[in-house]
Amino acid sequence: MRSYLKYKEQISGFGDVLETVKVTEKIAAANIHLLKQEVYQLDQYIQEINTVLERMSLFYEYKESIFLKKRKEASAKKAIIVLSSNKGLVGALYHDLTSYMMEQEDRYDKVIIIGESVAKLLEEESIAYDKVFSNISEIMTGDEVLEISDYIFNAFRSGDISSVDIIYPKFVSVSVQSPKKVEFLPFEFTDMKRDTKLLNNGLGYPIFDQKKENIFQELLKRYMSVFFHKIIIEAKLSEFSARTVAMEHASEKTEDMLKDLKLAYLKGRRLMKTKSQLELFLAHNII
């Protein structure tokens, strides 16, 4: 029969595991509210920039930007960016994301991965990718986002890629995250210069301190960068949500295992005491 002291050792080990799981859950849960607020603020900022771009189209016949023009060259390549992270403990989040990406793999000529999680899963499936950004922080800094966006923009400017789509885990709720694909480049800007309602909104006519073209191009670049940053933050929000739920389930299972181990320990100790008492009783009677 298994020694009850082994159960005692396991109880101590599982207790440490439970403490780690609960700390991980608390850290993930604490970030959810902050990231939801950041996504909301970035979304509001994007809408403001878009409003200004629409208003500018009333007064500026913008030249066709490289980021607005759809290319038709036969040599142009379509790229897909897949957003993940370097950490696990997120349930099936990145397995679902990888499966979703693999379903559409044939449509793209270039695969760019952010985070090691999806990169490792693709390697297990013997699927090649062209670029992986693995040296990233838990929550990416502005400089890290800028480095990645500059890489994408430069590849687009050079003609190395003709279009860019992004696949990421979209946040639906704390318990639900689903893979989603969005078109990123070329950016589709709605020309509002024929919408006279914007002229009659009481704002009057703007005064441009610089060339309209410079302002428009800078705003367009800012819009795309902030849009990309928002998707990265939303993907991180999904990660922390999935980790919170996964750790909550792990905590429940660990607590159940601890209960079983404690019962087995108590039962084993009781049997050992009973055996010892019987041996003492028999020895006393023999003597």
CATH of the domain at 57: 3.40.1380.10
CA–CA separation, 16 and 270 (whole Å):
25
**Is residue 208 located within the same domain as residue 106?**
yes
Give the amino acid at 243.
R
Tell me, yes or no, whether 194 and 257 share the same domain: no
Between strands 131-133 and 163-171, the pairing is unpaired
- Same domain flag for 71 and 201: yes
CA 26 to chain centre: 18
Tens of pLDDT, residues 82-113: 999 998 889 899 999 999 999 988 889 999 99
DSSP 70: P
Helix (H, G, I), strand (E, B) or coil at 76: coil
- pTM comes to 0.78
Q: Token pair 């919170």 is at which residue?
A: 244
Distances (CA, A) of 200 to 47, 140, 196, 204, 206: 20, 42, 7, 8, 13
User: In this structure, are 16 and 145 located in the same domain?
Assistant: no
pLDDT of residue 101: 92
Q: C-alpha dihedral over 81, 79, 69, 144, to 10 degrees?
A: 40
Assess whether pLDDT exceeds 50 at residue 1: no
pLDDT-derived band at 282, boundaries 50, 70, 90: low
Q: Which string of DSSP letters, residue by residue, matches 185-230?
A: ES------TT-GGGTTSS------SS-HHHHHHHHHHHHHHHHHHH
The reply to whether 142 and 91 lie within a common domain is yes
**pLDDT tens-place string over residues 46-61:** 988 888 887 777 666 6
Q: Which residues on adjacent β-strands are paired with residue 79?
A: 110, 164
- Asked if residue 178 and residue 262 are part of one domain, the reply reads no
Output the CA–CA distances (angstroms, integers) from residue 212 to 20, 62, 217, in the order listed: 56, 8, 9
pLDDT single digits (tens) 178-232: 999 999 988 876 655 545 555 555 555 555 566 777 778 788 888 888 999 999 9
Determine the residue type at 282: L
Judgement on whether residues 172 and 279 belong to the same structural domain of the protein: no
| Same domain flag for 90 and 113 | yes
Domain count, the chain: 2
Taking a C-beta distance cutoff of 8 angstroms, is the pair 108, 79 a contact? yes
State the Cα–Cα distance between residues 284 and 178, nearest whole angstrom: 71
Full residue range of the structural domain in which residue 16 is found: 4-20+250-286
Q: How far apart are the first and last CA of the chain?
A: 29
Contacts of 251 (CB under 8 A, 6+ apart): 18, 21, 22, 25
Of the candidates 168, 132, 138, 136, the one whose C-alpha atom is nearest the C-alpha of residue 151 is 132
Same domain, residue pair 176 and 87? yes
Q: Are residues 259 and 140 in the same domain?
A: no
Residues 271 and 224 in one domain: no
Give yes or no: residues 29 and 53 share one domain: yes
Close Cβ partners of 14 (under 8 Å, ≥ 6 residues apart) = 254, 257, 258, 261
Within 10 angstroms of residue 46's Cβ, the number of other Cβ atoms is 17
Confidence class of residue 72 from pLDDT cuts 50, 70 and 90? low
Sequence letter at residue 10 = Q
